[in-house]
Amino acid sequence: MKTRTKVAAALAAALLASACSQGSATKAPSGEGGRTTLRYFTFSAAPDHVKDLDAIVAAFEKQNPSIDVVVETAPFDEYFTKLQTSIAGGTAPDTFELNYENFVTYAGAGSLLDLGAVGGDGDLSAYAAESLNAFKRDGKQYALPASFSTVVLFYNKDLFEKAGVDLPTADWTWADEQAAAEKLTDRKKGVYGDFQPVQFFEFYKTLKQAGGEFLSADGKKSAFDSPQGVKAAEWLVSKVGRTMPTEAEIGGTADYDTNLFKSGKLAMWHNGIWQFAGLKDVPFEWDVVVEPGDAGKASAVFHNAVAVSSTTKLGKEAYAWARFLSSSDVAASTRIASSWELPPVADQQVLAGYLKDPKPANRQAVFDALESIALPPVIKRQQEMQDAVTKELSEAASGRKPVPDALKAAAAEVDALLG
Amino acid sequence: MTLTAAPPEAGATHGRRAPRRRWRHAGTVAVFLLPSLVPLTLYTLVPMVASLWTSLHEWDLITEMRWVGLGNYVELIGDPGTRAAFGHTLYFIAGYLPLVYLGGLGLALLLNRAMAGRSLLRGIYFLPVITSWVVVALMWKWLLNPASGIVNWALGLVGVSGPGWWTDPAWAMPSVILASAWKDLGFVMIILLAGLQAIPKEYQEAAMVDGASAVRRFRHITLPLLSPSSFFVVVISLINGFQMFDQVKIMTGGGPGGATQVVVSQIYDLTFRYGRAGAASALSWLLFALVLLVTIVQIRGQKRWVTYG
């Protein structure tokens, strides 16, 4: 009797121990029928473009029957947390997407495979040179540019016409935008003239529009606590509660601005071209234009790239997939046909196809925006810098701090991060 | 004969065999403890030691660890962000603990009386305790929505213009406290209810015969005899308060403007947002030290106010 309970207890313990050892993600990379499984982790596909990515994967697998690409997606907010922990845990995906802002961190940390070393032939002429250079470090190509996108001013044509306000043009300045936004705002009807989030990404761009710089020339100190910086921050903050809803009115609702624009209650909206696909069926006329400037024009460009983990056992296969995803005709035409982000190809003929789509009419603005761009400042402690700037700007936006004080505090925090 | 001969025999046997039997006993115990010992070691003790080691390094999770000695601790102690996080945690506890204890006590006293639907009410008040924090936090976020929430709508009916709740730095922590106290009220109630029912009726009856008023009976019989249960819920609630995270993560994300950034959400951000696992581990140990200190003080102090039996 006693022995039997002992055996039972030991058995239970053994069962538990074996249960613990399961669920480990380090499995040998082998698929069915001798196919090699290659993992790809991405933030830009879900939710609107999973099918488009599947089409690219299918075309790749047709060309490379021995490789089985497994796609994993995560929303942007959680993406880098998951990527970091998987690298730390030794279960990094073979290939993964990186944006320009985070590329430096990962390349510097030695998490990325030098693609020149596995690439062999090294013919990269298919890529636009400036996109390629964005993902080089110390002369080595650590990632291949896969897509880029710009931020433009979306506007609801119907609202403009109803209010008798002239439509935005490429020559508009902040003053024109503000005058129009004030005329278009009708709080009683819940209609707002403008929407531009008060945060880091809008700030570094408007700062450039005002003629200021975010960091000093040597990159060792902040430079945004300047008259231009104050002007840019004042511009963003001045909209809150006047032509744009306040934080309390937004009430933390997810995709508040997207829904506001889609419901026809937002006249002007600063957002990225990745929104095109989602606006296909709205019941009103809309178009886009290069964002208004101040002292000059400056548009935000976001670059995404595909990188290969330095720990992968499938360097060759991973490189083949990275090449295919970033420069194949199938990938480029799929991105263009679905109004996803743009392929960073050198061949302008490929991009010309993008202009054929009739909606929005002024698609040329997407390319015009590239004429003067504002790249985000990138430092080693990137996320902390972004959070610090956004936090102080929101202090100013809610009226708890005068703009100059908020900028001074943000500059002190950024300097501490650089020091 | 046998009787006289037997005792030394048995005694000798006993003396010789006792240690072995005790070891065999320990072996049996160990086997039964294994199911809880293995996960405890794997998922609590090992990570604890590992985090102590990590706290002496700079580590972004993707590069090799770099030894910094006590650098993280020195930096954290001088960091205004850390001090703010501890301040917010203490603010939370200062609001949460009285609210949840007094509320729970009130409910326990109420539901200890003979009344219709008592069991149903006890069940209802306990429901939030077993509800997921995600659900509770989202629900409160919605109730307290400044623009479209029910609370501000109801306040508007009586002519009060409701505050910005969790979108306003001054009101964000009270919002979190309110939601937390609401959720944990049932737990405190159940423990105190059990404590109340363990108080022998004879004491109350005897006091009544002596002509003691309800207030005096409560003060001199109920409260002292309830003190072991009170001690337990205060210790547990305090530790919960120090460790609170879910509600902040979901309701405010530490905002607005960092107004609800508590110690554990700071630990989370340091690790997963800022890639500073070393500093985060150091902060975890600082929090551990504080909780340990507070708990020791409480246990030492219990002699002064906790009455057993």
Check if A391 contacts B (Cβ < 8 Å).
yes
In one letter, which amino acid is B180? S
The partner residue sitting opposite A87, judged by closest CB among B35, B61, B169, is: B61
The conformation of residue A168, written as its DSSP 8-state character, comes to: P
Residue of B54, B61, B151 best to disrupt the A interface, most CBs of A under 10 A: B61
Domains of chain B: 2-54 (no CATH), 72-305 (1.10.3720.10)
Check if A17 contacts B (Cβ < 8 Å).
yes
The conformation of residue A170, written as its DSSP 8-state character, comes to: T
**Distance between start and end Cα atoms, chain A:** 70
* pLDDT above 70 for B15: no
Distance CA(A227)–CA(A206), nearest Å, equals 13
Which chain B positions have a beta carbon within 8 Å of A395's beta carbon?
257
Rounded to two decimals, what is the model's pTM? 0.81
Check if A91 contacts B (Cβ < 8 Å).
no
pLDDT given at position B231? 93
Residue from A135, A61, A108 nearest A324 by CA: A61
Distance CA(B207)–CA(B196), nearest Å, equals 16
Distance CA(A387)–CA(A268), nearest Å, equals 26
Q: What would the pLDDT profile of A269-295 be if each residue is shown by its tens digit?
A: 999 998 888 898 899 999 999 999 999
Check if A111 contacts B (Cβ < 8 Å).
yes
pLDDT tens by residue, chain A, 419 residues: 344 544 444 444 444 444 443 333 444 445 456 789 999 999 988 777 899 999 999 999 999 999 999 999 998 888 998 998 899 888 999 999 999 988 988 988 889 999 988 876 667 888 888 888 889 988 899 999 998 899 999 999 999 999 999 999 999 999 999 999 999 999 999 999 999 999 999 999 999 999 999 999 998 999 999 999 999 999 999 999 999 998 888 877 778 999 999 999 999 999 999 888 889 889 999 999 999 999 999 999 999 999 999 999 999 999 999 999 998 889 988 988 888 888 888 877 778 888 888 889 999 999 888 888 898 998 888 888 999 999 999 999 988 899 999 999 999 999 999 98
ipTM of the complex: 0.77
Give the CA dihedral B239, B242, B247, B253, nearest 10 degrees.
-160
Q: Is A143 helix (H, G, I), strand (E, B) or coil?
A: strand
Which chain A positions have a beta carbon within 8 Å of B268's beta carbon?
none
Dihedral sign from CA coordinates of A97, A101, A105, A107 = positive
Residue position matching structure tokens 């990138």:
A378
Residues B171/B144, Cβ–Cβ less than 8 Å: no
CB contact under 8 A, B167 and A10: no
Both tokens of residue A403? Answer: 């703009």
Check if B174 contacts A (Cβ < 8 Å).
no
Residues B168/B256, Cβ–Cβ less than 8 Å: yes
Check if A6 contacts B (Cβ < 8 Å).
yes
Q: Which H or E element spans position A373? A: strand A373-374
Q: Is A244 helix (H, G, I), strand (E, B) or coil?
A: strand
pLDDT given at position A17? 42
Nearest CA in chain A to B172: A248
Nearest CA in chain A to B35: A13
Q: Which H or E element spans position A305? A: strand A299-308
pLDDT given at position A12? 47
Domains of chain A: 32-149+302-356 (3.40.190.10), 150-301+361-418 (3.40.190.10)
The partner residue sitting opposite B62, judged by closest CB among A17, A20, A109, is: A109
The partner residue sitting opposite A13, judged by closest CB among B34, B166, B275, is: B34
Q: What would the pLDDT profile of B263-306 be if each residue is shown by its tens digit?
A: 999 999 999 888 899 999 999 999 999 999 999 999 888 888 88
Chain B, residues 115-154, CB within 8 A of chain A, namely 141, 145-149
Average pLDDT, chain B: 89
Residue from A79, A111, A106, A109 nearest A94 by CA: A111
In one letter, which amino acid is A385? M
**Distance between start and end Cα atoms, chain B:** 51
Distance CA(B2)–CA(A98), nearest Å, equals 88
Tell me what the mean pLDDT of segment B93-115 comes to.
93
Q: What would the pLDDT profile of B176-220 be if each residue is shown by its tens digit?
A: 999 999 999 999 999 999 999 999 888 888 988 988 888 888 888
Which chain B positions have a beta carbon within 8 Å of A387's beta carbon?
273
The conformation of residue A375, written as its DSSP 8-state character, comes to: P
* pLDDT above 60 for B16: no
CB contact under 8 A, B258 and A391: yes
* pLDDT above 50 for B3: no
* pLDDT above 80 for B17: no
**CA distance, residue B44 to nearest chain A CA (Å):** 14
pLDDT given at position B11? 44
**Angle at alpha carbon of residue A96, lines to A94 and A101, rounded to 5°:** 140
Residue from A97, A83, A87, A95 nearest A145 by CA: A97
Interface size A-B, in CB pairs within 8 Å, comes to 88
pLDDT given at position A46? 78
Q: Give me the DSSP letters along B61-112.
A: SSSPPEE-TTHHHHHHHH-HHHHHHHHHHHHHHHHHHHHHHHHHHHHHHHHT
The conformation of residue A377, written as its DSSP 8-state character, comes to: P
Q: What would the pLDDT profile of A347-397 be if each residue is shown by its tens digit?
A: 777 788 888 888 899 999 998 888 888 989 988 888 889 999 999 999 999
Which chain B positions have a beta carbon within 8 Å of A398's beta carbon?
168-169, 256-257
CB contact under 8 A, A251 and B147: yes
Check if A259 contacts B (Cβ < 8 Å).
no
CB contact under 8 A, A81 and B61: no
The partner residue sitting opposite A383, judged by closest CB among B166, B274, B277, is: B274
Residue position matching structure tokens 């039964």:
B32
**C-alpha separations of A331 from A45, A303, A327, A343, B126 in Å:** 13, 16, 7, 8, 55
CB contact under 8 A, B272 and A85: yes
**CA distance, residue B238 to nearest chain A CA (Å):** 30
Q: How many helices (H) and strands (E) does chain A have?
A: 18, 10
